[in-house]
Amino acid sequence: MKLYQYKDYNDYVNAQIEACKKKHKNIWVNEENINFLSEYLAFSGPLNGLCHGVRQGMEQLYFMKYLPNCKVIGTEIGDTDAAHTIKWDFNKVNNDWQNKFDFIYSNSFDHAFNPEKTINVWAGQVRSGGFIILEYDQRNEHTGEISKKCNKVDPVSVKIDELIKLIPKWIPGAKIKHVLGMPVIKCGNYQKSIIIEVP
């Protein structure tokens, strides 16, 4: 794993906010993939979900469409007027969210400032037995093969196989429940969701 080196945390925040402004209209999430994940989660009954790094907030809208008894909010570090979205730095603890959610979904883990600390912040927001879902494709690896190497906007470079091995080390007691192939591949040779069960 490689991480981009910022001058300081403010440098990171400013880079992410600027990227949010430039990419505000970009929608990375795919509705068919969220439908697929909703079918995976549906057996759990009514759910409370949180999506991190959502820009226009389509993630939570799709989850609520396919899980009609589910309440889902999203976070975005930059200014946003997206529905059901709160301006929040996903690397930071929010005391009101501790042990609150049945699942967290993100396709933005490559934007984390410190992956180990950030995934533990997210684990603290999920009830025991709940899930963190990281949707990942080859572009998210930022190795320079099909996307830029880690940079100010995408500071984390890690291949999915390495990430799968790191997560149980980072979150004591967590386990990789499943690695699901997604129906729609947006970029590269794969599109997968890592399902992490929180202890």
What CATH number has the domain bearing residue 184? Answer: 3.40.50.150
Do the Cβ atoms of 81 and 54 come closer than 8 Å? Answer: no
Q: Tokens representing 190?
A: 């794969």
**Encoded amino acid at 52, one letter:** H
* Domain count within the chain: 1
C-alpha to C-alpha distance for 170 and 193, rounded to whole angstroms? 18
Range of the domain at 121: 2-197
Average pLDDT, the chain: 94
Of the given ranges (97-101, 118-122, 140-144), which has the lowest mean pLDDT? 140-144
On the question of pLDDT at 23 being above 80, the answer is no
Q: Can you tell me whether residue 167 is helix, strand or coil? A: helix
Terminal-residue alpha carbon distance, the chain: 25
pLDDT at 27 over 90: no
DSSP state of 123: H
User: What's the average model confidence in pLDDT over 33-50?
Assistant: 92
Specify the pLDDT at position 26: 74
- Report CA-CA distances (Å) from 125 to 22, 38, 95, 154, 173: 29, 19, 9, 23, 15
pLDDT for residue 45: 76
Lookup: tokens for 36: 């697929």
The angle that helices 115-124 and 160-170 make with each other, rounded to 10 degrees, is 60
Contact 103, 130 (CB under 8 A): yes
Give pLDDT, residue 22: 86
Give the rounded percent of residues in the chain with a pLDDT score beyond 70.
99
What average pLDDT does this structure show over 78-90? 94
Question: What does the pLDDT average to over 89-103?
Answer: 98
Whether the pLDDT of residue 71 is over 90: the answer is yes
